[in-house]
């Protein structure tokens, strides 16, 4: 429909598959924010302060199937953060960070492990676990 040179379209208000995708993404964003708040010992009310870094972390995750981030698949270059770097700020300094545990035997095991960040670049992070095991993690 064209009205005064403006094109409009109509869609159904509830698209079940689209709503499910949005809800899953909202859950992912909130889990990321919750982990960042826990890491910085901040109350939930301060979620807006870490939102930009949390979104950057999510958008910088590499998919194993394509070995690319969503941003790289779309634009073919690394995503830049607010600080104009492709590496999140929490990865630029050595110290302890949280790493997601992908293989849990039960749902009662923790979601993350605390590891020491030794070195990092835009492609990998070199960390040491509490047991002293050193490993390279893809970004």
How many residues does this entry show for the chain?
A: 139
Q: What is the mean pLDDT of residues 27-52?
A: 91
122 touches 62 (CB < 8 A): no
Question: At 87, is the pLDDT very low, low, confident or very high (cuts 50, 70, 90)?
Answer: low
Q: Tokens 């598959």 belong to which residue?
A: 17
Q: How far apart are CA 97 and CA 36, in angstroms?
A: 10
Pick 132 or 74 by higher pLDDT. 132
Q: What is the mean pLDDT of residues 42-46?
A: 92
Q: What is the mean pLDDT of residues 110-117?
A: 87
What pLDDT does 100 receive? 80
55 touches 80 (CB < 8 A): no
What pLDDT does 41 receive? 92
What pLDDT does 2 receive? 61
Alpha carbons within 13 A on the beta-carbon side of 49:
10
């Amino acid at each position: 429909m064209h009205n005064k040179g403006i094109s409009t379209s109509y869609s159904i208000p509830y698209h079940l598959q689209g709503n499910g995708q949005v809800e899953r993404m909202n859950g992912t964003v909130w889990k990321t924010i919750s982990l960042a708040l826990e890491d910085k010992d901040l109350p939930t009310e301060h979620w807006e302060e870490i939102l930009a870094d949390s979104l950057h972390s999510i958008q910088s995750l590499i998919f194993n199937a394509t070995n690319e981030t969503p941003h790289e698949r779309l634009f073919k270059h690394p995503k830049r953060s607010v600080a104009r770097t492709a590496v999140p700020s929490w990865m630029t300094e050595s110290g302890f960070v949280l790493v997601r545990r992908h293989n849990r035997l039960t749902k009662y095991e923790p979601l993350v492990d605390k590891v020491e960040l030794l070195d990092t670049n835009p492609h990998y992070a070199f960390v040491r676990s509490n047991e002293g095991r050193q490993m390279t993690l893809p970004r």
